Amino acid sequence: MCAMHSFRLPLVAAFLLGLVTSAALAQDAAASRYRDAVTGTEIVNLTGAGTKSSNLYYHFSNLTADERAIVFVAEREGRNHIFVHDLAADTNRQITNDPRISAHTACPLPGNADQILAFRGPELLRISIASGRTEVVGRIPGTMSGGAGQPTVNGSRTHAAVGFRRSASTWEIGRIDLKSGEYQQVIQQGFQLGHVQYHPQREEIFYVWETGGYAPQRSWLVNADGSGNRPFYASTAPAKWYTQQKEWLTHESWVSRTGAMTMIMSEQGILLVQPSGEWKMIFEGRYWHVHARADGKVIVADDQQGRIWLGNVETGDLRLLVSNYRRAVPSLHAHAAFSSSGRYIVFNDGNRHASVSYIDLAQVSLPEWFRP
């Protein structure tokens, strides 16, 4: 963060700054708890029925680096803002109050429990959880058509990668140096880019050709310096397809310690894909989203019936955690994600109303194969 300097504000400016700070640090009442009707799993709702909220996209932990707080998005007075839920105090606190900040681009900064990255237009911000203070890290130069996507940070924590639309016919991936703020263009494409994710160990960036359905080649890898752009999972020959249908893979997420990636093969199951593109089916079934624990041994996945499962990648064993997270809100996507330690699972929960919920797995009776 920037060093703080002593200075004097005019009385009116100081008063207005106090109002903004007070609003940004507003606190909400304690979260509510309930037990799943089938499994008995205790689930903690972070927000009530009158507050729309959602988790961050699930390809990284939604918790701060020290796992003391969950970062999420909630609506207040018709606008989305970044909130944190204090696990010990059981309270929510609003962190941002600037409507120009894109709350859904929030990314807890790995290795720093006090900081969140997020975009405000072309500016990449570093936001303090403790104070709400914002610092401009860097910016995307030139023109943009729409906002930036969610940043992701490389394993050495030196750069953040981001995808965005440069013009009507051009999409771009770039990376920003988190120390100097320097922007580097990585690649431009003439199709819509999505799911941009920095590899957790290599200087490689994953992205997809986003169509909302089948794409001629959906998944791609490019080196962080812009070289070596190539297809990632590629099975273009019908004789090699897992089924007679054209393959559709989606909802991808790196496994942080192994460097492999989990993917959903639509209507077929969950794949584990190595950086080389080699793959294997680890669970068959009509799953929707999947995220792996950091060691890659356990996955959390939701299926198209609204259930959330834990799965043992080595043995194929499954454990039902949530029997129907879509009961009251059938359109909801769970986007369930492990915390970095594997203790917590955060997900979008529509069992009672649209909310963010979490499960503390330390409080759940689990088989030995689950233990880290």
The pLDDT value recorded for residue 6 is 33
Indicate the pLDDT class of residue 360, thresholds 50, 70 and 90: very high
Residue of higher predicted confidence among 95 and 371? 95
Count of other CB atoms within 10 angstroms of residue 143: 8
Which among 132, 180, 127 has a CA at the least distance from the CA of 1? 127
Q: What own/partner pairs with CB < 8 Å and gap ≥ 24 does 71-78 have? A: 71/106, 71/108, 71/116, 72/46, 72/346, 72/356, 73/103, 73/104, 73/106, 74/47, 74/356, 75/51, 76/51
Indicate the pLDDT class of residue 30, thresholds 50, 70 and 90: low
Tokens 């999972």, residue?
Answer: 233
Question: Distances in Å between the alpha carbon of 138 and those of 107, 122, 172, 362?
Answer: 15, 9, 17, 39
Stretch (H or E) spanning 24 = helix 11-24
Tokens 């204090």, residue?
Answer: 86
**Domains of the chain, residue spans:** 34-50+256-372
Alpha carbon distance 270, 259 (integer Å): 16
- Residue 307, token pair as written in the block: 């259930």
Q: What is the mean pLDDT of residues 180-185?
A: 98
The pLDDT value recorded for residue 238 is 76
Residues composing the chain: 372
The pLDDT value recorded for residue 29 is 52
pLDDT tens per residue across span 69-106: 999 999 998 899 999 999 999 999 999 999 999 999 99
Which among 109, 219, 114, 124 has a CA at the least distance from the CA of 164? 124
Q: Is CATH 3.60.15.10 what the domain over 34-50+256-372 is classified as, yes or no?
A: no
56: CB partners within 8 A, 6+ apart: 62, 71, 72, 73, 104, 106, 107, 108, 150, 337
